[in-house]
Amino acid sequence: MHGDYARVRCMHRRFANTCTLSIGFLQLSAVGGVFLISGCAAWQPFSDRSTLAESSGAVLPIAPFSPRDLNMFEGATGRTLAWADLMAAASAADVTFIGERHDDPVGHQVQLAVYEELLAGYAGSAVSLEHLERNEQPLVTQYLAGGLTADEFIDQTKSRNWAGKDSWVPYFQPMIDAAKVGGGVVIAANAPRSYVSRAGKEGYDELRALPPDEQLLFDAPVTIDSGRYRDRFRNIMLQEGESIDDDEVIARIDQRFHGQQVWDETMGRSVARALAQGTPKVVHCAGCFHIEYEGGTVLALRRAAPKARVLTITVIDAASDRLRESERDAAHIVIYGIPVSRREEVETK
């Protein structure tokens, strides 16, 4: 993590990590023009059947031990869900967003399990990663084709310590290898850090004036999000003693937000382009701030592909046997990644 971002574990570990699209994805630059439509009601994964207004009947395990047995709840109502409910919703969705705390191993286990099951049922499904950037897509393609070893791929993308020392191999590589073995797609979805930094310092017009080949590596938003997502960002970026009413403070934070929006727009459109190419299912993995409470990446995808059915999941690195009020409506599905049986052990550390 860098600078003020270090205070938010679900935001970036570093400014320049994400997923990228294949050259074919990148050339579909018309997506912005084709899909930038708004106004349709958002698809709701649990509103199809009247029985879903009641308890699902899922039995919460006494001692959860794997991602499929963790305590999970419908974010809007708090009703208990089982893994079968989650996968039914993911199977009905076009895109499943899974928010992570970057250094939480359980969140990455959930991402892997969801992607493996969708890939098994829907051939050619994609895992889209915040943790790889679009300019790294050729390396992804080369690795999937057997042209690079895992160590060569990790070293050339400089990813080995992405979420902490030696974190790439246990947290992120398994999803890429699942795609390699199962014939899936890996999308390097994020914008390179240099363009994110320039967006904050120079503005979007300067980015749009860059050569066409560079513009393929990022997407700048047409409009800046002005609702809850921006307000959450401002509050998080406030430093001790600062006030939201200070114009100079807000100007500094909003400059950072312009960079954040390039991340969000690039990731959202990366996913949209995959859908436009006929990818059956996309699982997008990113820091929870981009996803929770209709975060910026979800908003970007909705703008780019308004008809897409979107499921959001967040994994909380805490233990609970019920939906906590602080996580209500954080996502369609809220998962607690620490078993209740280990709560005292964790809280006393």
pLDDT, averaged in runs of 10, over the chain (349 residues): 42 38 36 42 73 57 69 96 94 97 94 96 97 98 98 98 96 97 98 94 93 96 89 89 83 91 97 98 97 96 97 96 96 89 53
CA 194/CA 283 separation, integer angstroms:
26
User: Which single residue is written with the structure tokens 């005292």?
Assistant: 344
CB 67 within 8 A of CB 74: no
Identity of the amino acid at 98: I
pLDDT of residue 4: 41
Bridge partners for 311 per DSSP: 96
pLDDT of residue 341: 58
CA 292/CA 35 separation, integer angstroms:
23
**Cα 158 → chain centroid:** 20
pLDDT of residue 10: 56
pLDDT of residue 29: 38
Give the count of alpha carbons within 13 A of 175, CB side only: 34
**Cα 31 → chain centroid:** 20
Per-residue pLDDT tens over the stretch 38-96:
445 788 887 765 545 556 666 555 554 578 989 999 999 999 999 999 999 999 999 99
CB 335 within 8 A of CB 316: yes
Q: If you count them, how many residues does the chain have?
A: 349
CA 218/CA 270 separation, integer angstroms:
9
Bridge partners for 186 per DSSP: 127
Q: How many CB atoms lie within 10 A of CB 142?
A: 14
pLDDT of residue 259: 93
- 119 torsion bin: left (phi>0), alpha (psi -120 to 50), beta (else): alpha
Q: Which spans in the chain are helix H?
A: 23-26, 31-35, 83-92, 105-121, 137-144, 150-157, 168-171, 173-182, 193-202, 204-208, 212-215, 228-237, 247-276, 296-304, 343-347
Residue 198 corresponds to which tokens in the numbers above?
A: 């320039």
Per-residue pLDDT tens over the stretch 117-136:
999 999 999 999 999 999 99
Does the pTM surpass 0.75? The reply is yes
CA 164/CA 145 separation, integer angstroms:
28
pLDDT of residue 86: 96
Q: Under DSSP, is residue 284 helix (H, G, I), strand (E, B) or coil?
A: strand
